[in-house]
Structure 1
Amino acid sequence: MPVPSLAPPSTRSLLRDDVYGRLRDAIVDGTLGPNEQLRDQELAAWLGVSRTPVREALLRLQQAGLVVARPGRSTTVAGVDARAVRDAQAVVAAMHEVAVRAAVSVLDAVALDAMRAANDRFAAALRAGDVETALAADDELHGIPVEAAGNAAVATVLGEFTPVLRRMERLRFSSLSGRASVRLHDELITRLAAGDAEGAAAVSTRTWHTLAPLLDT
């Protein structure tokens, strides 16, 4: 029979992405801790899915450095490896630089105001010692130029490697001390509003490299 012109909607990719996201978030927020053994059958039962999307998700998590697979032996949650985090940091900083350069010409006043509001929430969460809210606000702020840039490749790479940094922050912070980032965010927004692509890109890179001291603790 001829191939139908309209394919039925497929939920496979949505299910696969959902399982990946839920396992990734469980690792990042510490629900699944470092060196914890990951058995696909147990994870499938926990998530209410078959083992196939779990296996696919574990492979992606391994590629991102959040999972360690030992063929024929075990699959475990990766520990915090300084080299892996530095590698992820370099990639994430570079991707945000690309996004910021592209976003300068398309960000409007509404987007810039949204960035300012996110930075206000970030600063308030820092004062309250609320790590989760601070990181969510930080993600929102930096996500605005990424979305505006419209570069799918950048978004995909950030989706893979930003969780490595966020997990490190959660594991290493007893209270979030990122007040320098508030000032850098303000400077980033100011340069974006002025149409200064080079200056905004430089500030974005500096912002992501403020995480470096955490790697030495």
Structure 2
Amino acid sequence: MPVPDERGKHKRSLLREQAYESIRDAIIAGTLAPGEKLRDADLERWLGISRTPIREALARMEAAGLVHTVPGRSTVVSTIERKAVLDAQTVAAAMHALAARLAVPLMDKSDFTEMVSANKDFADAVSAGDAAAAIRADDRFHGVVVAASGNDLIPTVLEQVTPVLRRLESLRFSSLCGRQSIAQHRKIIECCRKRDADAAAEATRENWETLTLLIEHLDDD
């Protein structure tokens, strides 16, 4: 068969993914603050990789609303805007609810065990005031249902909208919000175990819509 005239494709893809995750996580954590300029040379020194995968990663982040690029001028970390977060929340809640509805009939004991474990890690992180660990555990919890849904488009959509929400949670994470999510996670697990797809979907939607309490404070800044 003819071989495509492209070399190093997989290696570059890996570097692009690593660059995306590193810059994304720094923005979510607030290390790279809103309005901060992202200079290629600085990013190259920090990440230890070439400009091409970095630019590809930044283009992906712009699509997710994490950065804003002015062609020929600069790339800056986007501010957290109320409408953008509300839009992302609406889509995320709908996608996770759909995932739950699809997943419940297909889930097994191992899925429930993983959700319980993830929620315990989430609770421990909230108690310790570790927002980054709480976010990782929350991703893991909801990821069980998304994976079990069997719909490959759901994680694709969520990858675009979730970083904006995680950024808000990291900047404004509170123990009150965290404690509420622990109980909501337990309710989701219970509904899944009962094979009640509609109830699981509704409980999941309610869990994601609790972010409204954080979003409302954006106008106070």
Shift of 1:131: 1.8
| Counterpart code for 2:120 | D
CA contact (8 A) 1:129 1:176 kept: no
| Counterpart code for 2:187 | E
C-alpha distance in structure 1 between counterparts of 2:135 and 2:22, whole Å: 17
Q: Counterpart in 2 of 1:189?
A: 189
TM-score by length of 2: 0.90
Count of aligned residue pairs for this structure pair:
215
Measured on the aligned residues, the alpha-carbon RMSD in Å equals 1.9
Tell which deviates more after alignment, 99-108 or 115-124: 115-124
| Counterpart code for 2:102 | A
Tell which deviates more after alignment, 51-60 or 169-178: 169-178
Shift of 1:73: 2.7
1:64-90: CA deviation from partner (whole Å, max 9, x where unpaired): 110011223321001111111111111
Q: Counterpart in 1 of 2:43?
A: 43
1:109-165: CA deviation from partner (whole Å, max 9, x where unpaired): 111011112112222322232222222211111110111123221111212221111
| Counterpart code for 2:93 | A
Q: Counterpart in 1 of 2:85?
A: 85
What secondary structure is seen at the aligned counterpart in 2 of 1:178?
helix
What secondary structure is seen at the aligned counterpart in 2 of 1:69?
strand
Identity, % of aligned positions: 48
CA contact (8 A) 2:184 2:207 kept: yes
C-alpha distance in structure 2 between counterparts of 1:209 and 1:89, whole Å: 7
Q: Counterpart in 2 of 1:3?
A: 2
The gaps in structure 1 that reach 5 residues or longer are none
Tell which deviates more after alignment, 152-161 or 79-88: 152-161
| Counterpart code for 2:2 | V
1:1-37: CA deviation from partner (whole Å, max 9, x where unpaired): x5149x9873222222221111111111122111110
What secondary structure is seen at the aligned counterpart in 2 of 1:105?
helix
Q: Counterpart in 1 of 2:153?
A: 153
Shift of 1:96: 0.7
The gaps in structure 2 that reach 5 residues or longer are none
CA contact (8 A) 1:100 1:197 kept: yes
1:114-193 to structure 2, matched below 5 A, reads 114-173=114-173, 175=175, 177-193=177-193
TM-score by length of 1: 0.91
Q: Counterpart in 2 of 1:102?
A: 102
Change (3 A) 1:175 1:202: closer
C-alpha distance in structure 2 between counterparts of 1:177 and 1:149, whole Å: 27
CA contact (8 A) 2:58 2:67 kept: yes
CA contact (8 A) 2:127 2:175 kept: no
Q: Counterpart in 1 of 2:73?
A: 73
Q: Counterpart in 1 of 2:113?
A: 113
